[in-house]
Structure 1
Amino acid sequence: MDAPFGGVNMIFFGDYLQYSPVLDKPLYHTHALAQQYNERQIEMQCAQKIISQINCVVELNQQMRTEDARYLELLTRLRDGKSTVEDYQLLCTRVIGAPNLKISLQQEPWNEAPILVFRNTLRTQLNNRAVLNKAIETGIRPVVCVAQDYIRNKAIDDSRLRKAILELPDNKTEHLPGYLPLVP
């Protein structure tokens, strides 16, 4: 059958007004005409075409996860591209290391809170630091799991190539780290 999803009715959940992807274009971006498209551009165009066939949309208009009214208003303005200086000042109060921040990320409940970052390398550094902190806290020595990469179902045995692949940043390896430290 040539119908999208084999003609099966689908229900999608998502935020089509969410912020633009970091270092990428949103799905609803208008593509410039080009002589040749790469695979990613073709996939995005296919996704756009499928999404354009959606014929029923239910819009949820009440934010359920944010109780702070000022922050919710900030998010709405940010989404609409109408941020204010006051929004910036409010965001500055939520930066780790801000001089007026009187909490410790090592005390409850903050030591269990998720931390949102804008770069994968920073995420990896924070995760590695968390492993070290947990190891110190528990007195358990961390272990490092090393990725085993394959080319055509054959393990890579060239040590230089293996080392180069292990050192690639996560954004070049489908967000899979070459080295994964853990506290057992």
Structure 2
Amino acid sequence: MDAPFGGVNMIFFGDYLQYSPVLDKPLYHIHALAQQYNERQIEMQCAQKIISQINCVVELNQQMRTEDARYLELLTRLRDGKSTVEDYQLLCTRVIGAPNLKISLQQEPWSEAPILVFRNTLRTQLNNRVVLNKAIETGIRPVVCVAQDYIRNKAIDDSRLRKAILELPDNKTEHLPGYLPLVP
């Protein structure tokens, strides 16, 4: 069958008011015509064509992520590119200093707070720290799930290559980590 998604009805969830992708263009970006396209540009054009075929949209307009009105207003201005000095000062009050990182993440309110970061590597480090803190708190040993990578349907035999692939940052592996620590 030559229909998007094999003719199967699909439901998509997303936030069209998200910040633009880091070092990339959003799907709605119009690309200039070129005589030759690279693989990424072709993928983007295919995705745009599929998205343009969506025929029903339900827009949820009640924000449910934060009850902090001041912070929500800050995020709205940030999204619109209209941040203020006061916004910057508010964000500075939420920065965790490196010496206090371990202690702060174990204490309220930081132990339950969403944390915004600019780099995937920092996000991964913070998530790993949360797993370790939870393991210490519960007295349960963390379990580390290790990715099983294949090349042409064959497991990787070369230990150096396997180690290098496992240690790639997850923004290079479609956000699939090589190592995923968990507390059962």
Deviations 1:73-124 (A, max 9, x none): 2222222222221221222222223999999432345323343322221122
User: Is this contact kept in 1: 2:104–2:110, CA < 8 A?
Assistant: yes
User: Is this contact kept in 2: 1:92–1:98, CA < 8 A?
Assistant: no
Give the % identical residues: 98
The residue aligned with 2:10 is: 10
Unaligned runs of 5+ residues in structure 2 are none
User: Is this contact kept in 1: 2:131–2:142, CA < 8 A?
Assistant: yes
1:129 CA displacement: 1.9
Give distance in 2, aligned partners of 1:146 and 1:101: 26
Give distance in 2, aligned partners of 1:122 and 1:150: 27
**Number of equivalent positions:** 184
Alignment of 1:50-89 (within 5 A): 50-53=50-53, 59-89=59-89
Residues 128 and 41 of structure 1, relative CA distance in 2, 3 Å threshold: same
Identify the range of structure 1 (159-168 vs 49-58) with the bigger mean alpha-carbon deviation: 49-58
Alignment of 1:35-184 (within 5 A): 35-53=35-53, 59-97=59-97, 104-108=104-108, 110-184=110-184
Residues 169 and 102 of structure 1, relative CA distance in 2, 3 Å threshold: closer
TM-score norm. by structure 1 comes to: 0.76
Q: For residue 101 of structure 1, give the secondary structure of its aligned residue in structure 2.
A: helix
User: Is this contact kept in 1: 2:96–2:104, CA < 8 A?
Assistant: no
Give distance in 2, aligned partners of 1:96 and 1:26: 30
Deviations 1:6-44 (A, max 9, x none): 777766553323211122111111212223223332222
Residues 38 and 98 of structure 1, relative CA distance in 2, 3 Å threshold: same
1:126 CA displacement: 1.4
Residues 125 and 10 of structure 1, relative CA distance in 2, 3 Å threshold: closer
CA RMSD of aligned residues (A): 3.6
1:58 CA displacement: 5.7
1:165 CA displacement: 1.5
TM-score norm. by structure 2 comes to: 0.76
User: Is this contact kept in 1: 2:105–2:130, CA < 8 A?
Assistant: no
Give distance in 2, aligned partners of 1:119 and 1:65: 21
1:66 CA displacement: 3.4
Residues 13 and 29 of structure 1, relative CA distance in 2, 3 Å threshold: same
Residues 137 and 174 of structure 1, relative CA distance in 2, 3 Å threshold: same
Give distance in 1, aligned partners of 2:74 and 2:164: 43
Unaligned runs of 5+ residues in structure 1 are none
Identify the range of structure 1 (46-55 vs 71-80) with the bigger mean alpha-carbon deviation: 46-55
Deviations 1:34-81 (A, max 9, x none): 232233322222332344455665655443443333222222222222
